[in-house]
């Protein structure tokens, strides 16, 4: 038995617990450590053989402990194999510095972009305000120009109206003066005509017209009415009285005593003119009589 124990002792020499530090071929940060339960396994194997030789089949508590150690270290080895290598503190500090620098640069870039966008917005607002001010200025100028043009047009219309009224007033005054002068000449020439013996040419006869006629075509009823019915003379006579006074002068039987003084070259025209005046006066008298009915 002692010999067997010695043989077992020599067959399973005790291996002291040791730890070796080796680098892996991939130069990883892990260290290869010879786990302690492997040394226990040698001891347990020797103890198990001794128990077997003695006939003791009951499991040993040492076996359970070894299995537990195997499970623990196997789990740790699996976790280390699947986990990334640990980073050293300087590396992690440098990484955090890089991250902070990156985020800082991104923040600076974002702030610059925001500042640029803000400046662009302000410039657009200023440009829009300048454009609006320019539009308002131009609109004000246009309104002022239109108002000035309107005032000028109104003033021009007022001046034109005033000038027209003044012209009409002057024309009316001139016409009134012309009518008064024509009536005065008409009456005075008829008075001198009776007492005179001078020849009566067509143009020297006092025709009852405002403007002396050049020929018989100028002797019309309207021309007679303009002078005979004018309100600028004979205000105390009615229209019938005026017609009656004119017929006493222009009736052909009464005018025949003057026809001998008319030259032969004008006699036909004078007789025709006297006939036209007499007919117009008779028509006016008939019209006045119809109005009186």
- Mean pLDDT per block of 10 residues along the chain (293 residues) reads 40 40 39 47 60 55 62 62 56 75 85 91 93 93 93 91 90 90 92 84 91 92 92 90 92 87 91 93 91 78
Q: What is the pLDDT of residue 30?
A: 38
Cβ 285 vs Cβ 241: under 8 Å: no
pLDDT for position 220? 93
Maximum separation of any 2 CA atoms in the chain, in Å: 210
Q: Which DSSP string corresponds to 57-77?
A: -SPPHHHHHHHHHHHHHHHHH
Residue 269: inside a domain, yes or no? Answer: yes
Q: How many domains does the chain have?
A: 2
Q: Which of 30, 64, 82 is the C-terminal boundary of a domain?
A: 82
Domain contains 250: yes
Report whether 221 contacts 283 (CB < 8 A).
Answer: yes
**One-letter-per-residue 3-state SS of 97-165:** HHHHHHHHHHHHHHHHHHHHHHHHHHHHHHHHHHHHHHHHHHHHHHHHHHHHHHHHHHHHHHHHHHHHH
Of 82, 97, 118, the domain-final residue: 82
Which residue range forms the structural domain that includes residue 281?
A: 197-292
Helix axes 61-82, 37-54, angle to 10 degrees: 150
**Distance from the Cα of residue 138 to its chain's centroid:** 12
**Considering the domain boundaries, does residue 158 fall inside one?**
no
User: Cα separation of 70 and 34, whole Å?
Assistant: 12
pTM, to two decimals = 0.49
């Amino acid at each position: 038995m002692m010999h067997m124990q010695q043989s077992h002792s020599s067959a399973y020499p005790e291996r002291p617990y040791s730890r070796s530090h080796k680098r892996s071929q991939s130069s990883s940060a892990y260290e290869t450590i010879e786990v302690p339960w492997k040394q226990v396994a040698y001891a347990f194997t020797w103890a198990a053989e001794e128990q077997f030789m003695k006939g003791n089949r009951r499991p040993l508590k040492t076996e359970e402990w070894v299995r537990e150690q195997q499970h623990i270290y196997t789990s740790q080895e699996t976790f280390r194999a699947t986990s990334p290598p640990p980073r050293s503190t300087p590396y992690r500090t440098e990484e955090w510095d890089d991250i902070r620098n990156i985020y800082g640069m991104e923040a600076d870039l974002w702030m610059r972009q925001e500042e640029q966008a803000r400046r662009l917005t302000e410039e657009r607002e200023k440009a829009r305000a300048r454009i609006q001010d320019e539009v308002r200025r131009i609109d004000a100028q246009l309104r002022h120009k239109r108002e000035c043009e309107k005032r000028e047009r109104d003033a021009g219309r007022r001046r034109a109206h005033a000038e027209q009224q003044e012209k009409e007033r002057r024309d009316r005054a001139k016409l009134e003066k012309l009518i008064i002068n024509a009536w005065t000449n008409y009456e005075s020439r008829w008075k001198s005509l009776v007492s005179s013996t001078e020849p009566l040419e067509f143009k020297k006869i006092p025709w009852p017209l405002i403007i002396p006629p050049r020929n018989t075509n100028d002797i019309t009823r309207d021309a007679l009415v303009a002078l005979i019915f004018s309100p600028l003379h004979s205000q105390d006579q009615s229209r019938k009285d005026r017609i009656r006074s004119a017929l006493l002068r222009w009736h052909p039987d009464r005018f025949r005593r003057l026809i001998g003084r008319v030259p032969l070259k004008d006699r036909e025209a004078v007789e025709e003119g006297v006939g036209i005046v007499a007919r117009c006066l008779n028509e006016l008298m008939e019209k006045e009589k119809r109005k009186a009915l």
